[in-house]
Structure 1
Amino acid sequence: MDHYPLLDLFWTMLWFFLWIMWLFLLFKVIADIFRSDDLGGWGKAGWLILALLLPYIGALVYVIVRGGSMGKRDLKEAQERDAAFKAYVREAAAGGSDAKAPREGKHVDDLAKLAELKDRGAITEEEYQRAKTKLLV
């Protein structure tokens, strides 16, 4: 009966995980190609063809050539999502039109100030949660 030595199992797992990481990188590259505003249609088509026909070389070349701007696009998208979420929360919180509205408006401002303090690192998550609970009760 053949056996499968532990070292062979280790190498198999290593290659499997490297393959999975490469797939994640390939999908990230393809997503970045489509969301990149500085590439025209032909540029996107060229990078996509390279990434799909020669996936290992295409992904590697793309990361070398455009890797720095990938991070900048990720950061910009995250900041836009965060700003849109905060704007939505402010709009939803300020939307009340009953007798409590002035009092709730004050709470919204206080919560916004608390969130800003937490984002700057002036208060910890625990302090933020405690102050938020006091405001909302």
Structure 2
Amino acid sequence: MLDFFASFWDFLVSMLLIFVWVGALIALFTVITDLFRDSGLPTWQKVVWFIALLFLPFLGSLIYLSARGKGMAERSAARASAVQAAQQEYIREAAGTSASPAAEIERAKALLDAGTISEQEYASLKAKALA
């Protein structure tokens, strides 16, 4: 019975160490990615940071995150908002709704005049175009 608990705790400790190791690798790769994407950092500083990360990955990652973490978060947020804006523009182009609200109301009025939609549907489309 004692052997089971010893091996169980060994298993838990091993899982914890693996979890920490994977987290450290993710942090290291995130730092390296941010390092290469940062256009405001001079090349020689990128080289120094990369060498520090190469020889002392855990300590280098911690120092980088504490020294440049705020800028890293700002760059990540700016990149995410740029991707989201590009995605929304692509969706508008693909859906064909990149026209002005006046053009959308005109198109809805044409559908109403043709009898394709009802007065309630026209009002709904008009409200959506003006929103």
In 2, the alpha carbon distance for the partners of 1:67 and 1:90 equals 35
In 2, the alpha carbon distance for the partners of 1:74 and 1:110 equals 32
TM-score normalized with structure 1 length: 0.66
In 2, the alpha carbon distance for the partners of 1:31 and 1:6 equals 37
Q: What one-letter code is carried by the residue in structure 2 that aligns with 1:56?
A: F
Q: Which residue in 1 is equivalent to 2:68?
A: 66
Runs of at least 5 residues in structure 1 that lack an aligned partner in the other structure: 114-137
In 2, the alpha carbon distance for the partners of 1:60 and 1:8 equals 28
Q: Which residue in 2 is equivalent to 1:102?
A: 107
Across the two proteins, how many residue pairs are aligned to each other?
A: 107
Q: Which residue in 1 is equivalent to 2:78?
A: 76
Q: Could you tell me how far 1:45 is from its partner in structure 2?
A: 1.2
TM-score normalized with structure 2 length: 0.69
Q: Which residue in 2 is equivalent to 1:46?
A: 48
Runs of at least 5 residues in structure 2 that lack an aligned partner in the other structure: 99-105, 112-123
In 1, the alpha carbon distance for the partners of 2:63 and 2:53 equals 9
User: Residue 10 in 1 paired to residue 12 in 2?
Assistant: yes
Q: Could you tell me how far 1:91 is from its partner in structure 2?
A: 2.1
Identity in percent? 35
In 2, the alpha carbon distance for the partners of 1:23 and 1:6 equals 26
Q: Could you tell me how far 1:94 is from its partner in structure 2?
A: 2.5
In 2, the alpha carbon distance for the partners of 1:72 and 1:53 equals 27
- The 3 A distance-change label for structure 1 pair 90 and 42 is same
In 2, the alpha carbon distance for the partners of 1:44 and 1:86 equals 33
RMSD: 2.9
Q: Could you tell me how far 1:95 is from its partner in structure 2?
A: 7.5
What whole-Å deviation, never above 9, does each CA across 1:48-82 have from its counterpart, x for those lacking one?
A: 11111211111111011001111111111110000
Q: What one-letter code is carried by the residue in structure 1 that aligns with 2:107?
A: P
Q: Once structures 1 and 2 are overlaid, which stretch shifts more, 67-76 or 25-34?
A: 67-76
